[in-house]
Amino acid sequence: MSRKEPVLGGAQRSRRALVTGAASGIAAGIAVALARDGFERVAITYRTTPPDRTLREIEAAGAQAPAARVDFSASEGEVIAALDELVQMHGPFDTLVHGVGPMVVKRFERLTMDDYREMFDGNVRSAVLAARAVLPAMREAHFGRIVVFGMNGSSETRPFRGFTLHQAAKSAVVAFARCLAVEEAARNITVNVIEPGHIRHKDVEREEALTMTSPAPRGRAGSFEDVADVVRFLVAQERDYVTGAVIAVTGGLTQADERNA
């Protein structure tokens, strides 16, 4: 992950963020970026992958770095209990970046009801429960920033082969986020969606991504830094007038990668 100094965000020394699914990949890069922007505490959740590297980089950036194992595929009661404990011990959080979101890529004829549950519990239910965990404190403080993730085209229910359930779940996430944005706007709580595109190599820095080809019109691969920059913009304290937005970070890609078909 990049060691470069951030150019967005500003001092955030009293702020606390929760980044879910941040043991590795894009969410890990986002967690570290928020720490470098000056967040006092950046808590992360993980499921199985040890989050040691992410925690070291958060701490190296000067932020506190608690971590909790939260299995968003577990029963509703287990997920709620784990999130409530995390909020009580390390909150209140004024920022939620919900990075959890499993993907199953199969034609519908091969999908099972277990796949259905994984897609909707892992993407939609997880976003609902994460938001419910942090929103009471945000409402009390009259301030909050929430960012969730769709997929390329989910805001338009754009059809791609092999993404029957995944795209349906991500489109539901977008609908949930945009409705929540309307309900919470008067409390200075924003809710926005990022739709990442062709980001195959989730740990590479932008400098390396510039050397890698991609089917995106931009011609190069995406990086976690491309996504993190948008998150940093959306969660800034002054960004109260951007809510209910869906921002594509795709390098211009509008069609499914045929290798996923």
The answer to the question of residue 179 being in a domain is yes
- The rounded Cα 55 to chain-centroid distance in angstroms is 17
Is 5 a member of any domain? no
Judge whether 25 and 196 are in contact, CB under 8 Å. Answer: no
Residue 8 lies in a domain: no
pLDDT of residue 225: 86
* Token pair listed for 152: 């390329």
CA–centroid distance for 127 within its chain: 10
Residue 175 to residues 75, 76, 107: CA-CA distances in angstroms? 23, 21, 24
Residue 141 corresponds to which amino acid?
A: A
Q: What per-residue confidence (pLDDT) applies to 61?
A: 97
Residue 10 lies in a domain: no
- How many domains are there within the chain? 1
Q: Which residues of 100-135 are buried (b: 16+ CB within 10 A; e: fewer)?
A: bbbebeeeeeebeeebeebbbbbbbbbbbbbbebbb
Distance CA 39, CA 72 (A): 25
State the helix-helix crossing angle for 52-60 and 25-36, rounded to 10 degrees.
20
d(CA 93, CA 10): 18
The answer to whether residue 199 sits within a structural domain is yes
β-pairing, 189-196 vs 144-149, is parallel
CATH number at residue 53: 3.40.50.720
The pLDDT value recorded for residue 212 is: 62
Residue 218: the pLDDT is 65
Task: Tell me which residue has tokens 């967040």.
Answer: 39
Pair of tokens at residue 41:
């505490």
Asked whether residue 223 is assigned to any structural domain, the reply reads yes
Contact 96, 146 (CB under 8 A): yes
Report which of 69, 52, 131, 59 is spatially closest to residue 95, judged by C-alpha positions: 131
> What confidence score (pLDDT) does residue 147 get?
98
Domain that holds residue 99: 16-250
Q: Does residue 255 form part of some domain? A: no
Quick one: tokens of 221?
């691969």
Measured CA to CA, the distance from residue 120 to residue 194 in angstroms comes to 18
The pLDDT assigned to 209 comes to 55
Tell me what pLDDT residue 261 has.
39
Question: Is residue 1 situated within a structural domain?
Answer: no
Can you give the pLDDT of all 261 residues of the chain as single tens digits? Answer: 443 444 444 445 589 999 999 999 999 999 999 999 999 999 999 999 889 999 999 999 999 999 999 999 999 999 999 999 999 999 999 999 999 999 899 999 999 999 999 999 999 999 999 999 999 999 999 999 999 999 888 888 888 889 999 999 999 999 999 999 999 999 999 999 999 987 766 677 766 555 567 777 766 666 788 899 999 999 999 999 999 999 999 877 776 544 443
Q: How far apart are CA 156 and CA 193, in angstroms?
A: 13
- Backbone φ and ψ for 15, nearest 5 degrees, come out as -95, 150
* Amino acid letter, residue 53: R
